[in-house]
Structure 1
């Protein structure tokens, strides 16, 4: 039986070393999101894969050909996909649980690769689909942390897609 993962929302780092590191890696993910080319049909997301406290790969939306999400790009850029087992993912937006294109969701990729933990900055708005990434990951035994204090910074690269009231 798979252990249930945990989900928590944090509003500040409170001197917690893990959260302080996460804050830095999340800021790198935000910078990645800004590298995405704006389109009217998808969010600009950044992702960072960290292994043993070292950045092993980064990615941003549509960085690689084929309408690829940021997590998918970061995974493809790893020297070996098996490196992701036990790694930590930092991403600006909740990992998708469904792709309109029919491709494998980011949540499914995260589970298959064996990530131990995922940090993200904001739940995915319902603009394009109803996302249940957190639930899918937690059910698969992955610990998930929402860095609520970075919500606005994670949404900012998507300002043109979102109702100003959301920001």
Structure 2
């Protein structure tokens, strides 16, 4: 009989156990979310070393901030990915403050990895790809630049030549459209 996959309720139990300091809870959460978290970090940072460091830092921060998890605001996976995303943004902004030579660039095919859903959920991956493909190309590019490139709204206005209000409204519209398409 095949093993059953952990559910969102199982993940919420694990975060509650982590909040109580129970042994094994952090490891179980790491096992559940390390793969997708690493892929998001690698997509954003384009450096395996940086992605691994942020992955470790994200789970250390998860342990410290487990008490801030609110199931009304999203799943445990969303909470973990948000922590990792913020750490990646910090690293990207630090890079811009002190530029460094890099072997690869975000446009390099070797680093253009999709931030896919966990391997055990191909249906979720298809849903994400479908939702993203429903966006018009310019809105999708803005969203990818903001999320994966770590660009602020102000930086996006400079990159695109669009007014700040237009950038913000297009991003909001794209996020709302994604949310609408992702609803079960």
Q: Does the TM-score normalized on the shorter chain lie above 0.5?
A: no
Higher helix share: 2
Higher strand share: 1
Q: TM-score, normalised by structure 1?
A: 0.26
Higher relative contact order structure (alpha carbons within 8 Å, sequence separation ≥ 6): 1
Q: TM-score, normalised by structure 2?
A: 0.25
